[in-house]
C-alpha cells in the first residue's frame, strides 16, 4: 500500500469528492482526513494521482 499526501483535504466533503473520483476510476482507497492521506494499492498509485487531480486536488 502507498500513501499519497493531499494537503488540501479540509473536510468530509473533500473526502467524498476524492472517493467518488477514485471509485469512478475503479480504485479502492482509504482516505484519512486528519493526516491528509489517501492510501491505495501500489499498482494503483499513478491512476489514483490522476483521479485525485481530476477531482480538483493537488498531490504531493
Per-residue pLDDT in tens (0 to 9) along the chain, 60 residues? 999 999 999 999 999 999 999 999 999 999 999 999 999 999 999 999 999 999 999 999
pLDDT recorded at residue 48? 98
* CA 13 – CA 3 distance, rounded (Å): 20
Map out the domains of the chain with their CATH numbers.
2-54 (3.30.70.100)
pLDDT recorded at residue 43? 97
pTM for the whole thing?
0.93
DSSP H or E run through 40: strand 37-40
DSSP 8-state secondary structure symbol assigned to residue 10: -
Amino acid at each position: 500500500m502507498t500513501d499519497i499526501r493531499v494537503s488540501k483535504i479540509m473536510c468530509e466533503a473533500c473526502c467524498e469528492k476524492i472517493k467518488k473520483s477514485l471509485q469512478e476510476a475503479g480504485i479502492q482507497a482509504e482516505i484519512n482526513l486528519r493526516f491528509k492521506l489517501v492510501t491505495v494499492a501500489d499498482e494503483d498509485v499513478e491512476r489514483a494521482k490522476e483521479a485525485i487531480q481530476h477531482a480538483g486536488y493537488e498531490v504531493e
